[in-house]
Amino acid sequence: MNHEEAEHFKIGLSAGATDGIPDGVDEIMNEVAESMAGKLQRTLDFFLASSSDLTLSRMYLCGGSAKVPALQRILAERSRVPVEIIDPFRHLTIDQSRFDMDFIRAHAAEATVGLGLALRRQGDRA
Which of 11-15, 95-99, 115-119 bottoms out in mean pLDDT, i.e. has the lowest? 11-15
Tell whether the model's pLDDT for residue 17 goes beyond 70: no
CATH number of this structure's domain 3-86? 3.30.420.40
Selection from 35, 85, 37 nearest residue 64 by Cα: 85
Domain positions in the chain: 3-86, 87-126
| pLDDT band at residue 13 using 50, 70 and 90 as cut-offs | low
Among candidate residues 46, 66, 51, 50, the one with its CA nearest the CA of residue 109:
66
Enter the pTM of the model: 0.72
In this prediction, residue 14 has a pLDDT band, given cuts at 50, 70 and 90, of low
DSSP class per residue in 41-63: HHHHHHHHHH-TT-----EEE-S
